[in-house]
A and B are shown apart, each in its own frame.
Chain A
Amino acid sequence: MKTVRTDVLVIGTGFGAAAPALRLAQAGASVVMIEKGPKLQTADFRQTSDPKYILKYLKGISGDHLRLTYAEALGGGSGFYEMVSLRAPTLAFEQLDEAGRLLWPAGVDRPALDPYYALAERMLHVAQIPIEEVPKTGLVFAQLMKNLGLSVDRCRYAVRGCQGSGFCVTGCVYGAKQSLFLNYLPQAVAAGANIETDLEALAIQPIGGIRWRRGCALRELPYRYRVTARRRGGSGDLIVFVARVVILGGGTVGTAKLLSASRPYLPLLSEHVGRNIAYNGSVKVAALLPDGMPDADMFTGRTHPGMVSYQFLGSHGITVHAVKALPLMLVSAAHLGLHGDFWGAKNVELMRQVRHRMIILDAFGLTPPGGALQVVAGDATMSLPLTARLRAYHAETKRLLESILERNGCRMV
């Protein structure tokens, strides 16, 4: 079994992993990053809705009332997200739990994080979309809001030279989306970091009998952890990493699974691992535009159609967006609800109108972090108790979105 010694082992290559890997490598530490998914670069992306392609990189776990989608590939979800890059509003840091305690640690708030947001935005070339590039669906959404005297703002994206192909979520074949393998990761490699893909961390074991003191330099720390990893596909070889510091950047699912698997070796591991998972509070409604309203376009222009409304952030804790979706996502979403005419002649008539006459609104909200991830024999499932507070949030948000559409004369579908 091969053994690798490193100052820092970073597990994952997504947003939570890439920044610390780069900064530590630049500071002179030896850094190894390991990624469960395959190597990925712009040339690997395809503009297709073929589930075979999508499932190669995007994984999902389901459960009662909540489904998580995540990426397993170099750069994590950065290859496949809609490239929306907004700073979390102050309200997000002021959320309280059921006992009235702040969810975020003291001192972690928007002013404290703003310098780091600014740094990340420079790295990812984040900018507000120019008004002349807002896709038709975004402009129609803006019109619906304007008709009711409601505000909209142009959104911010990590993109340079967007071609408006409409395939953001299958990976940008033009290299315009600023995925992490275009910036943080190659810079980390240039600073001396090593990245290993197709390598899954199996368990973390502390090395016993080690004494160390807080506040000493990284290089003065003893080697404190052994992390066993397995090569995926092919050989299945095991590799042991011995590290002074381990950074867990495997995302909500990956990190919880790894820690759960390591529980036998980590007696002080909190029982809260895998609990209190926050999600985006997404509530969607769809409708057909009334006569007289200009056409939207479900399939061209960047996937997130350019506009965000903060109108209800203070009153309801939500932002409101319009949604565009490729046919695969439209069909899948229809089948998740399994209501209405999801097949047959009426469904065909609806599908004919999807591209130009359908408008989908989506609200993202500050919902209580009640999700829990259970890992049994390596398989993960999600659960989300439907509390009265959550039911009320969902019902009220849905009513609000429907009201926006109905007061504009849209026909709900």
Chain B
Amino acid sequence: MQHDISRRHLIQQLGLIAAGLAAACTPARVLINAYPQVFDDDPALVDRVLRAFVITVIPAAPADDADLTRAFTDPDYPLAPYAAFFAADLARRGRDRFGAAFERLAPEARTAIVGDGLAADATSRKLYNGAIALAQIAFYAGIYDARKGCALIDFEGANHWHPLADITYPDPTRFLGEALTPDGNHD
């Protein structure tokens, strides 16, 4: 089955994340390639591939985290229309270079595949950069549970109140050198 996805649309959408939430605009009218129907028909396959992708990008992420791949198919995020294509691209690269399914490859081989995608043509580079950014934002920022945060980086998420003693140090004046102003405003 042919999937005609506008390359311009793809780049614009991924640019929202890859370029720090600002819109990108790169004119191009080429269409990306076709991909096998099975990636549209088998969401479990797509999830396995994307899960392997996320733990390649973030090796210490827990592979059984229920939210690990959620952002890739979340319609509120720009990768959702391209998730199946992206999984198919990872699978194709794994098969072509190492002769095996991406999700069954050793970590070093998966790392090489992601590196291949980042070194490929401009559209692939945008796609892979966008996917890496989305995976990292979703995981480190804990976007699906604001209270969970991310234990890996000691980010506690929302509503974790700290007493002042946790926020600062005792005897703070020992850190300070000369001040140039009496009140913080420079003349």
Write out the residue numbers on chain A whose beta carbons fall within 8 Å of the beta carbon of B132. 335, 342-343
User: How many residues on the B side are at the interface (Cβ–Cβ under 8 A)?
Assistant: 61
Residues on A with C-beta less than 8 A from B15 are 62
Please tell me if the beta carbons of B146 and A352 are within 8 angstroms of each other in the complex: no
Question: How far does the alpha carbon of A128 sit from the alpha carbon of B185 in the complex, in Å?
Answer: 9
CA distance A61 to B25 in the complex (A): 10
Indicate whether A181 reaches chain B with its CB closer than 8 angstroms: no
Q: How far is the CA of A288 from the CA of B21 in the complex (A)?
A: 26
CB-nearest residue of chain A relative to B19? Answer: A62
Interface of B is mostly: loop
Chain B 95-114 interface 0/1 with A at a Cβ cutoff of 8 Å (1 = within): 00000000000000001001
CB distance B18 to A164 under 8 Å?
A: no
Residue of A nearest to B153 (CB): A351
* Interface presence of A146 (CB below 8 A): yes
A50 on the interface (CB 8 Å rule)? Answer: yes
A contact face: mostly helix, strand, loop, or mixed: mixed
> A332 and B137: CB pair below 8 A?
yes
Are A67 and B20 in contact (CB-based, < 8 A)? yes
Contact across chains for B154 and A355 when beta carbons are under 8 A apart? yes
Min distance, Cβ A38 to any Cβ of chain B, angstroms: 17
Q: If A150-B177, A344-B59 touch, does A131 touch B172 (CB 8 Å cutoff)?
A: yes
CB distance from A403 to the nearest CB of B (A): 17
Q: Are B169 and A62 in contact (CB under 8 A)?
A: no
Q: How far is the CA of A69 from the CA of B161 in the complex (A)?
A: 29
Q: Choose from A90, A326, A336, A356 the contact partner of B154 (Cβ within 8 Å).
A: A356
A residues contacting B by CB (< 8 A) are: 46-52, 54-55, 58, 60-62, 67, 69, 86-87, 89-90, 110, 128-129, 131-136, 139-140, 142-143, 145-146, 149-156, 163-165, 167, 294, 297, 299-301, 308, 310-311, 313, 326-328, 330-333, 335-336, 338, 342-345, 347-348, 351-352, 354-356, 381
Contacts A153-B179, A344-B111, A351-B152 aside, 6 further interface pairs with beta carbons under 8 A come to A62-B23, A129-B184, A139-B169, A297-B167, A343-B132, A352-B152
